[in-house]
Amino acid sequence: MINNEYKAFKEECKDYIEKQYSNDEFKDLSNSWYQNSLDFRYSYNFEYLGRPIIQYPQDLIAIQEIIHKTKPELIIETGIAHGGSLIFSASMLALLDIMEGIDPKNSNRKVIGIDIEIKPHNRKAIEDHPLSYKLDLIEGSSTDAEVVSKVREEAKAFKRIMLLLDSNHTHEHVFNELKSYADLVSLNSYCVISDTSIEKTKKGSYPNRPWDVGNSPLSALKEWLKNHSEFEIDTEIDKKLMISVSPNGYIKRIK
């Protein structure tokens, strides 16, 4: 049961969140900090339970809150890299099991991780991790018909599903990922589209990458949402975080 003190605390937080988001100076400062952080590859500086996790801490906290609230049985992630994000998701599912009085090793909760290339040293480190029993690794393009079919078949065994998209960040690829998997997201659960922040950078900021302003996860999401009213952007998360690689990228299934 939520006590009155907790309710009062949350109302106070809500008030400060509204104030910070409506403060233009704080907004500009947050944007400036984010832009400068890119020059130092800030997101590469962290590890989670022994594996590099290329994420901003603010987004990890937001995802943790979503997982605790929605209690997914399956998390589908595109993009593996060093595996830190997979381990993060696996640990969150294991904690849900523990909180429900279930032995995590006897639970069906799991994470499906998809990447077009899983480098051998990363695969070994992920498979040797104590939480590997929660993981199912699939090597191949997340939009390849065979991969999509395999994931969708596995997903049939689960009722509560969450989706995290963090692989190729071009408009076409993200749009096709949404077409392939978004309908699997369960009611009141979330799809998180990473690196929508590309749209906030200066054009030409990614000279060695195929994505750019106008050809990004956010441009794909905006186009896709035009025909998918069953999802909406959860702007309250943006208001709270202020600094994020996924602004406007937290979408909730509402119907």
pLDDT tens across 193-252, in order?
Answer: 999 999 999 898 888 999 999 999 999 999 999 999 999 999 999 999 999 999 999 999
What is d(CA 139, CA 15) in angstroms, rounded to the nearest whole number?
A: 45
Summarize the chain as % helix, strand, coil (round to 5): 50, 15, 35
Per-residue pLDDT reduced to its tens digit, 40-82 = 999 999 999 999 999 999 999 999 999 999 999 999 999 999 9
Mean pLDDT of 106-115: 98
Is pLDDT at 2 greater than 70 in this prediction? no
What is d(CA 183, CA 194) in angstroms, rounded to the nearest whole number?
A: 18
**Given this model, what pLDDT does residue 77 score?**
98
CB 158 within 8 A of CB 206: no
Non-local CB neighbours of 192 within 8 Å, separated by 6+ positions: 59, 63, 66, 162, 163, 164, 165, 246, 249, 250, 251
**Given this model, what pLDDT does residue 3 score?**
84
* Beta-bridge mates of residue 253: 231
Per-residue pLDDT reduced to its tens digit, 161-186 = 999 999 999 999 999 999 999 999 99
Complete domains list, the chain, with CATH: 41-253 (3.40.50.150)
Q: What does R_g of the chain's alpha carbons equal in angstroms?
A: 18
Non-local CB neighbours of 14 within 8 Å, separated by 6+ positions: none
Is pLDDT at 140 greater than 60 in this prediction? yes
Is pLDDT at 1 greater than 60 in this prediction? no
Report the greatest alpha carbon distance in the chain. Answer: 53
Q: Which amino acid is at 12?
A: E
Q: Whose structure tokens read 């020059």? A: 39
